[in-house]
Each structure stands twice: as structure tokens, then as C-alpha cells.
Amino acid sequence: MIQKKAEAFLPTIHGNFKVIAFSDGSTSSEYAALVKGDVNGRDNVCARIHSGCITGDVFGSLMCDCHEQLMESMKQIQESGLGVLIYDRQQEGRGLGLVFKIKAYELQENGLDTVQAMHNLGFTEDLRTYKAATEILKILGVKSIELLTNNPDKISQVEKLGVKVAKRIPLLSPPNEHNKRYLEIKKEKMGHLY
């Protein structure tokens, strides 16, 4: 059961937010929600459910578009004046975890694409679930969201878990030489919308 544990003011390069820490009681299942404005009881709240990506979000990897999506989401939520960004650090590498994600990187260096690498490691192309994120949205009292995503599976899962997605807002960033094929594979094999 996800519970709110602490909250504080958080100034960022994109504006001021309230940061709220959530946990299911274990230190391995902790989540952060950046909240802009009073979202309780509100419809059409600008929202991002962001999967943790240490290589992109922290180290600035050019192999993915995670950092760009995170920054653009914070910017759009700030501009809307009302929103929530849920950071789920348990979802590293589409749910693989850091070690298997780096193993997938090794396989990609040998010619496999991201989906082939996941399959080679014995996994489906995306292991992520959004149960914790939808619980957090419900705890915050959000009635419906405008979801910042390119991933149709995320929309489907969120709605099945009881959060209405009123609209999808695309997150587009220009490809670079290191992530161009990665973005193409997400579109071709995973149905991501660009």
C-alpha cells in the first residue's frame, strides 16, 4: 500500500514545485511526485509518469531521450500551472533494473536493437507497470489527467488501473546520432507515437 511519507518545497530550474515522497514501507519502493498547484479534485491535470533512468536522467546519456522527456515534462507542468510528475525509480530500463539494462547496452553494442536485447535476456520488451503511479494520483485526488507520453501502452495501463486519461500530450525531442535507432525501434516495434 503506497503512503505519503513527507513533503517539502522544491525550487527547480523549471520553477517551484512541492515534492512529495511516497513509499510502500520499504526503502526499495520509494517514489517522488512533483506537484504544481492544487490538484485535489481536479480534472485534466497535466501529468507525467516518468520511469527512472540513471544513465539518462543523472548522467546525461545520449542513447535515450529520457532526460529530455523529464525536463520537457517539468517545463510543461510549470507552464500549465497545474500538474503532477511522478518519478518511479523502480522502472529503470523499462523495468529491467540497472544491471540488466547495462547488459542490454552490451548486446546493443553487438548489433541488437533494444527490443531484441530485451528478448535475448529473456524478457518482454517492456516490463513496466503503473500501479504505484496510479495509486499516487488517486492519493493526490486527481480526477483525470492529460498524460505527457508517447507510449500507448502506458495510456492503456493507466486507464485500466482506474485513472482517466482525458488527453495525450506528445513529448518530442530531436534525435541524435546515438538514439536515432532507439527512437525508431520504439515507434516500429512498440507502437510509440511521435
Catalytic residue among 48, 113, 128, 153: 128
Cell triple for 60: 546525461
Q: Is the dihedral of CA 35, 22, 151, 61 positive or negative?
A: positive
Identify the active-site residue in 57, 65, 113, 126: 126
Return the number of other C-beta atoms located less than 10 Å from residue 108's C-beta. Answer: 17
3-state SS, residue 31: strand
**Any catalytic annotation for residue 48?**
no
Known catalytic residue: 89?
no
Residue 136 corresponds to which cell in the numbers above? 499516487
Cell of 105: 547496452
User: For residue 175, with 0-12 CB atoms within 10 Å meaning exposed, 13-18 middle and 19 or more buried, which class applies?
Assistant: middle
DSSP characters for 130-153?
Answer: -HHHHHHHHHTT--EEEEE-S-HH
Q: How far apart are CA 142 and CA 37, in angstroms?
A: 12
Q: Strand runs (DSSP E) across 13-163, as ranges?
A: 15-23, 30-36, 45-51, 83-88, 144-148
Active site residues: 126, 128
